[in-house]
Chain A
Amino acid sequence: MSIENLIVLLYVLVLASYVGFELIAKVPPTLHTPLMSGSNAISGITIVGAIICSGPLPGEFPLSKILGIVALFFATLNVVGGYVVTDRMLQMFKKKK
C-alpha cells in the first residue's frame, strides 16, 4: 500500500466516522437495543474480508485459506443472525392501536 493510498483510506475513515456520529447522536432510547444489534450485524462486514481470504492461493498457504474459511463461518453467523434477530425485535415495536 502506498502512502497516497493510506491517506485516501484515512479520509474515508474520518468522514465515515463523522457521518456515524451525526446519524446516531439522537437515537431515542426505545431503539438502543435494535440499534446495537443492527450495527452489530453491520460489523459482520468482515465477511467481505473473509471471502477474499478464502479464495484459492498459490498452494503454499493452506493455513491462510483455513483461517479465511473459519472467519467466513463466524462472519456469516454474525451477519445473518444479527439481521434476523434485529428484525424480530423491530417487528415487536408497535404504537398504540
Chain B
Amino acid sequence: MNQNFLTIIIQLAYLVASVLFIIGIKMLGKTHTARQGNIYSAVAMFIAVVATLLVRDVLSYTEIFVTILVGSAVGTYVAKKVEMTQMPEMVALFNGFGGISSVLVATSEYWRMAHDADIAMPTIIGVTVVLSVIIGAVTFTGSMVAYGKLSGKVNGNAITFSGQHAFNAILFLAMIVASIFLVLDPNNDLYMILVLAIGLLLGILTVIPIGGADMPVVISLLNSYSGVAACFTGFVLNNQVLIIAGALVGASGIILTQIMCKAMNRSLVSVLLGGFGQGGSSTTATAGASDMQVKEVGVEEAAMIFDSASSVIIVPGYGMAVAQAQHIVREMTELLEKKNISVKFAIHPVAGRMPGHMNVLLAEANVPYDKLIEMENINDEFSNTDVCLIIGANDVVNPAARTNPASPIYGMPILNADKARTVIISKRSMASGYAGIENELFGYPNALMLFGDAKATITKMVGELKEM
C-alpha cells in the first residue's frame, strides 16, 4: 500500500477516535447515557490502537500482541474481581499505571533520539520529554502512595516532618535546574536520570502529608495529571489523538478537583500543603470532649423512633463504607418505606474517600439513584424531617462550620442534619472526625448517639422494626 495513503487512513482513524472520545465523555455526564458513553470511548480507544498498529514502523506484532493480551487479561481479571468498596484504591492504582506508562514512553523516545547519531534532538522535543517525564513520574508515585493509603497498606493519616515544605521546595528547584540542563544538553543521560528520580520522589513526598478525608481532592488532581502527562507524550510523538484525549482527562480532573475543594471550603494550595487536622486543633478537641453531655439511645428505642416517624433522611459517610453497612441500610430503607415512611439520602460532595464514593456504594446495594439527593437540594428539607440518621459521617454535619469562626472547618458547606426533629448518630465511639475537632451536634438536645458498629447496630434495628 502507498505510504501516503496509509498515513491518511491512520490520521482519519485518529480523527474518528477523537470525536468518539468527545461524544463518549459527553454521554458519561448524564445518568441515562453514561454506560453507552463509556462504551463509545472504549470503541474510540480500540480504533486508535488498531490505527496505530498500521504504522509501518510497527512490525514486531508478536511482542505487541502478547503484551496487549497479557495486559488485557490481567486488567479484566482485576476489574471484575475488585469489590465496590475498594473502588477508591482501584482508581488510584489504574491512575498510577497511566502515569508510569507516560514516563516510559517519553523515556523510550528520549533514549532513541539521544542515542541516534543521525538525529539532533530539537529543543521543543527536549522540553516536552521533560514535562512528560516529570508529570508522569509524579502521577505514578503519587497515585501509588494514594493507593497505599486508601487500601490501608500505608498509614492513612497525614505524615509530616519538620522542614517538609522547604525540602520539597529544594527538590523542586533541583528538578527545574536538571530539566534546564537536560534541554540544553539532551544527550547527557545523567540529567535525564536526575529529572526522573526527583520526579518520582516528589510524587511520594507531595502525597504523604495529605490525610484521609482530603483524598477526594488528591485523587481528582492525580487523575488530571495522568491526562496532562498523556497530553505531553502526544507532543513528544507529534500525535494529536494523545493530545486530545489527554486534554479531556486533564480538564475533567481539574473540574472535579475544584468541586471537591469548594465542598470543603479549602483552597487547593492548603490541601496540597497537607497536615490538616494535626497539631493545635487536636489538643483543643480532647480538652472539649470531656464537658459535652451526650445522650445515648439503644437499638430498641431507636427502632421505635423510626417506627413513629413519617419522614427520614439518612446521611452516609466514610464510616458506612468502613463498616460495609450499605446493604443493611438498603434493607432498612425498604422496611421503612413499607411502613409508609419516606426515606431519602443526603449526599455531601466530599463524603467518603473519592468524588461520588457514597453514590457508588449505595448503587451497589441497589438503592435507586433518584433517592440520593445532593446537598443544595436537600438542605431545606431537614427542618421538616422527623428523623435524620447519620451513619459514619462527622465533619460534614458539624454545625461549627456555620457558627464557630474559630473552627478549622468554619465556612465549609455542611448538611443541616441538626435541624431535623431527632438526629440519631450511628458511630463507633466519640472519636473526632478527620478535621480532629469535636462535633457539637452530638451534644444537641435533639441528638441521640447510637454507639456500636454501624452494620451490627442497624442489623439489630432492622430485626426490631420487622417485629413492630
Contacts and interface: CB of A to CB of B under 8 A. Distances in A.
A75 B55 CA distance: 19
**Which range contains the number of B residues in contact with the other chain?**
35 or more
B371 A5 contact: no
A42 B245 contact: yes
A29 B75 contact: no
Interface stretch (B65-73, B271-279, B386-394): B65-73
Interface string B111-138: 1100110000010110000000000000
Interface in A43-80: 43-58, 60-61, 63-65, 67-80
B268 interface: no
B321 interface: no
A34 B78 CA distance: 17
Interface string B8-37: 000000000010011011101111001101
A17 B255 CA distance: 11
B249 A69 contact: no
A58 B242 CA distance: 25
B179 interface: no
Interface string A72-97: 11111111111111111111111111
The listed residue with most B CB atoms (<10 A of its CB), out of A30, A46, A60, A91, is: A46
Contact of B101 (A29, A33, A50): A50
Query: SS class of chain B's interface: helix, strand, loop or mixed?
Result: helix
Contacts of B39: 87
B79 A13 contact: no
B359 interface: yes
Interface stretch (B40-48, B180-188, B294-302, B424-432): B40-48
Interface residues of A, number: 84
Contact of B108 (A13, A29, A67, A74): A67
Nearest to B26: A23
Nearest to B21: A42
A76 B68 contact: yes
B94 A54 contact: no
Given A50-B105, A94-B363, A40 B98 contact: yes
Contacts of B74: 77, 81
Nearest to B58: A55
Contacts of B363: 89, 92-94
Interface stretch (B207-215, B218-226, B280-288): B218-226
The listed residue with most A CB atoms (<10 A of its CB), out of B112, B256, B259, is: B112
Interface in B404-421: none
Given A31-B29, A36-B354, A47-B49, A82 B34 contact: no
Given A30-B31, A47-B45, A55-B55, A61 B116 contact: yes
A24 B251 contact: yes
A88 B87 CA distance: 11
B230 A81 contact: no
A39 B234 contact: no
Contacts of B231: 13
B191 interface: no
Given A32-B359, A86-B38, A37 B226 contact: no
A29 B347 contact: yes
A60 B119 CA distance: 14
B167 interface: no
A89 B26 CA distance: 17
A39 B252 contact: yes
Contacts of A57: 112
Nearest to B122: A1
Interface string A2-36: 01011001001100110111011111111111111
B94 A82 contact: yes
A31 B356 contact: yes
A34 B235 CA distance: 28
A61 B111 contact: yes
A33 B111 contact: no
The listed residue with most B CB atoms (<10 A of its CB), out of A45, A47, A61, A89, is: A45
A33 B356 contact: yes
A34 B52 contact: no
Contact of B242 (A32, A46, A64): A46
B76 A43 contact: no
B97 A77 contact: yes
Nearest to B87: A33
A83 B28 CA distance: 12
Given A56-B60, A84-B76, 12 more contacts: A3-B124, A19-B251, A23-B252, A28-B29, A36-B91, A36-B356, A37-B90, A61-B115, A83-B45, A87-B39, A95-B368, A96-B368
Interface of A: 1, 3, 5-6, 9, 12-13, 16-17, 19-21, 23-58, 60-61, 63-65, 67-97
Q: Lowest 6 CB-CB distances: which A-B pairs, in order?
A: A76-B71, A20-B251, A32-B356, A81-B75, A71-B104, A80-B75
8 contacts: A12-B244, A33-B87, A39-B252, A46-B105, A52-B55, A75-B97, A85-B94, A93-B35
